[in-house]
Amino acid sequence: MIGYVSPEVFYGLIIACIIGCFFVGHAMDGVIGSSGFGVLGNMLILTTGLFLGLLLADKIGLRVSNVEVLAAAGLIGAFGSLLLLVLIKHLFMRVE
């Protein structure tokens, strides 16, 4: 589906995703606190997870032409990656 989008729209979507992840990362920094990675760290993890979720949805064979599937795959990838890394960080902080 991404192959059929014009470059201007594609770059605009990437910038919109990064800006959205910044605001969500800022909110998650307030919620998670010291267990998180800071505002920019949370943003990078959410952005990377979002695009990995979209890539995995395409590789699995989900209907990526459906916007609801893309949104769900992006949200699951973003918050799943943040959850996984926060849990790993919390486990390493307990071991010390």
Q: Tens digit of pLDDT for each residue in 18-54?
A: 999 999 999 999 999 888 999 999 999 999 999 999 8
- At 3, the pLDDT band (50, 70, 90 cuts) reads low
Place of tokens 């486990």: 91
Dihedral of CA 74/77/83/85: which sign? Answer: negative
The values of phi and psi at residue 64, to 5°, are -80, 0
User: For residue 71, is pLDDT > 60?
Assistant: yes
DSSP 35: G
Q: What is the pTM of this model?
A: 0.89
Question: Please, which pLDDT band fits residue 86 given cuts at 50, 70 and 90?
Answer: very high
What pLDDT does 61 receive?
A: 87
